[in-house]
Amino acid sequence: MSNGFLGYNASFMLDFVVCALVLIVPALVFSLFHVKVKRNYVLHRNMQIGLAVVLLVAVTAFEIDMQLVHGGWENVVNKNPDQPRLDSEKLGFARNVLWVHLVFAVSTPVLWLVTIVLALKRMPSPPAPCDHSPLHRKLGWISAIDITLTSITGLIFYYVAFIA
């Protein structure tokens, strides 16, 4: 099994997703700034669709790598079964952190998909304020909070499982 590129005993795809988690929040803030302050609705729409597609591809590749190539995250954490990096107690703690992360990681694409699909169906083209805007703002903020919590909990899991 190969190592990642961040210098820890993780896989390449784990390191790639960690970098994506670090970059997604600033990109989201940039998009929100341009829609709220600059009123650049087209840039906001394009960025949200682009971010969603990139994350969908990255997470799909990550899951294929994690599940099919490595046989699960525990095999990446403890690559050498004769000398496991995490004992059963630390592995149990990492598993609990992962479950918290998965709550947000599973809800994020669902929320983002609903937010984007409804916006594409209900908003004019080019995008502009309309009757759907109040619901879109609520869904957008919920989605933004959810992806931020996905990023934070994902980084915490990475730290617990591969750094600490």
Kind and range of the H or E run holding 43? helix 41-63
Token look-up 């294929």 returns 64
* pLDDT score recorded for residue 1: 44
Query: Among 21, 9, 164, 18, which residue's Cα sits nearest to residue 94?
Result: 164
Per-residue confidence (pLDDT) for residue 84, from 0 to 100: 87
Please indicate, yes or no, whether the overall pTM of this predicted structure exceeds 0.75.
Answer: yes
| Mean pLDDT for the stretch of residues 107-120 | 96
Among the residue ranges 26-30, 33-37, 52-56, 115-119, the one predicted with the least confidence is: 52-56
Q: Average per-residue pLDDT in the chain? A: 94
**What is the per-residue pLDDT for 83?**
85
Does 85 or 124 have the greater pLDDT score? 124
What confidence score (pLDDT) does residue 82 get?
A: 83
Over residues 86-107, the mean pLDDT reads 96
DSSP for 76-96?
HHTS-TTS-SS-HHHHHHHHH
Check residue 2 and give its pLDDT: 56
Percent share of the chain, pLDDT over 70? 99
How high is the pLDDT of residue 79?
84
pLDDT digits (tens, 9 = 90+) for 2-25: 578 999 889 999 999 999 999 999
Taking the domains of the chain in order of start, what are their residue ranges?
A: 12-163
pLDDT digits (tens, 9 = 90+) for 33-83: 999 999 999 999 999 999 999 999 999 999 999 999 999 999 999 888 788
20, 72 Cβ separation under 8 angstroms: no
